[in-house]
A and B are shown apart, each in its own frame.
Chain A
Amino acid sequence: MTTIDGRLGAAPEPTGPVSRIDYSERIPNNVDLAGDRKLQRALERWQPKFIEWWKSLGPQVPTKEVYLRTAVAIDRDGWAVYDFVPMEEYRWGIFLAETDPDREISFGQHKGEKAWKEVPGEYRAELQRLIVIQGDTEPASVEQQRQLGATAPSLYDMRNLFQINVEEGRHLWAMVYLLQAYFGREGRQEAEELLRRNSGDYDNPRILGAFNEDTSDWLNFFMFTYFTDRDGKYQLGTLKESGFDPLARTCEFMLKEEAHHMFVGTTGIQRVVERTAELMKEHGTDDILEHGGIPFAVIQKYLNQQFSVSMDLFGSELSSNAAAYYTAGLKGRWQERRRKDDHSLQDQTREMTKVETGQLVTETVPLLNALNLDLRDEYVADCENGVRRWNQALEDAGLPHRLTLPHEGFNREVGVYSDAHVSPEGEVLTQDEWDARVHQWLPSEQDLADVRSLMKPEYEPGRFAGWIAPPAQGVNKLGVEFDYVRFWQEDN
Chain B
Amino acid sequence: MTAAVETSTQIPGSDTGAGHLEAAEGADGVPSVSFDTSPDRYRHWKLDVDGEVATLTLLVDQDGGIVPGYQLKSNSYDLGVDIELYDAVQRLRFEHPEVKSVVVTGGLERMFCAGANIKMLAQSTHAWKVNFCKFTNETRNGFEDATQHSGQTYIAAVNGTSAGGGYELALACDQIVLVDDGSSAVALPEVPLLGVLPGTGGLTRVVDKRHVRKDRADIFATKSEGIKGTTAVEWRLVDAAVSRGRFDAEVRTRAEEAARRSHRPTGEQGVALTPLNRAETDVAITYPHVEAQLLRDQRRVEITVQAPAEAPPADAAAVHEQGARYWPLALARELDDLILRLRTNELELGTWVFRTKGDAGTVLAHDAQLDALADDWFVNEVRHYLKRTFKRLDVTSRSLVALIEPGSCFAGTLLELALAGDRQYMLAGVFEDVDPEADPASLVIGGANQGAYPMGNGLTRLESRFHAAEEELQAALARSGAPLEADEAAALGLVTMALDDIDYEDELRIVLEERASLSPDALTGMEANHRFVGPESMETKIFGRLTAWQNWIFNRPNASGPEGALRRYGTGKRADFDVKRV
- Chain A residues within 8 Å of B, Cβ to Cβ: 109, 125, 128-129, 193, 196-197, 202-205, 207, 320, 322-324, 326-328, 345-346, 366, 368-369
Contacts and interface: CB of A to CB of B under 8 A. Distances in A.
Nearest to A316: B73
B572 A197 contact: no
Given A125-B192, A128-B225, A204 B572 contact: no
B261 interface: no
Interface string B562-581: 00000001111110000000
Main secondary structure of the interface of A (DSSP, over half): helix
Contacts of A320: 569-572
Interface of B: 180-183, 192, 223-225, 243-245, 569-574
B192 A203 contact: no
Nearest to A345: B572
A193 B571 contact: no
A324 B192 contact: no
Contacts of B571: 320, 323, 366, 368-369
26 contacts: A125-B192, A125-B223, A125-B224, A125-B225, A128-B225, A197-B181, A197-B182, A197-B183, A202-B244, A202-B245, A203-B180, A203-B181, A204-B180, A204-B182, A204-B243, A205-B183, A207-B183, A320-B570, A320-B572, A322-B572, A323-B572, A323-B573, A327-B572, A345-B572, A346-B573, A366-B572
B572 A203 contact: no
Given A203-B181, A203-B243, A129 B225 contact: yes
Contact of B182 (A196, A323, A345): A196
Given A128-B225, A322-B572, 20 more contacts: A109-B573, A125-B192, A125-B224, A125-B225, A197-B181, A197-B183, A202-B245, A203-B180, A204-B244, A205-B181, A320-B570, A320-B571, A323-B573, A324-B572, A324-B574, A327-B573, A345-B572, A346-B573, A366-B571, A366-B572
Contacts of A205: 181-183, 244
B572 A368 contact: yes
Chain B interface, >50% SS class: loop
Contacts, number: 56
A129 B189 CA distance: 14
A366 B571 CA distance: 9
A347 B569 CA distance: 16
A326 B570 CA distance: 12
Contact of B570 (A196, A323, A345): A323
A193 B571 CA distance: 31
A202 B225 CA distance: 22
B574 A328 contact: yes
A197 B573 CA distance: 33
Given A202-B244, A326-B572, A327-B572, A193 B182 contact: yes
Nearest to A324: B572
A196 B245 CA distance: 15
A322 B192 CA distance: 17
Given A203-B243, A203-B244, A109 B574 contact: yes
A420 to B, nearest CB: 13
Closest 9 CB pairs of A and B: A323-B572, A320-B570, A203-B243, A368-B572, A197-B182, A204-B182, A125-B224, A327-B572, A203-B244
A109 B181 CA distance: 36
A369 B574 CA distance: 13
Nearest to B231: A189
Contact of B181 (A204, A322, A327, A345): A204
Contact of B572 (A202, A207, A369): A369
B434 to A, nearest CB: 63
B417 to A, nearest CB: 47
A326 B569 CA distance: 13
Nearest to B119: A320
A346 B182 CA distance: 36
B226 to A, nearest CB: 10
B178 to A, nearest CB: 13
A251 to B, nearest CB: 21
Contacts of A328: 574
A128 B223 CA distance: 12
Contacts of B181: 197, 203-205
A328 B570 CA distance: 12
A197 B179 CA distance: 13
Contacts of B569: 320
A375 to B, nearest CB: 15
A426 B245 CA distance: 39
B48 to A, nearest CB: 23
A350 B84 CA distance: 38
B312 to A, nearest CB: 54
Contacts of B180: 203-204
B574 A203 contact: no
Contacts of B225: 125, 128-129
A322 B182 CA distance: 23
Nearest to B179: A203
Nearest to B228: A193
A308 to B, nearest CB: 18
A205 to B, nearest CB: 6
Contacts of A193: 182
Contacts of B243: 203-204
B464 to A, nearest CB: 44
A107 B245 CA distance: 44
Contacts of A345: 572
A202 B571 CA distance: 35
Contacts of A326: 572
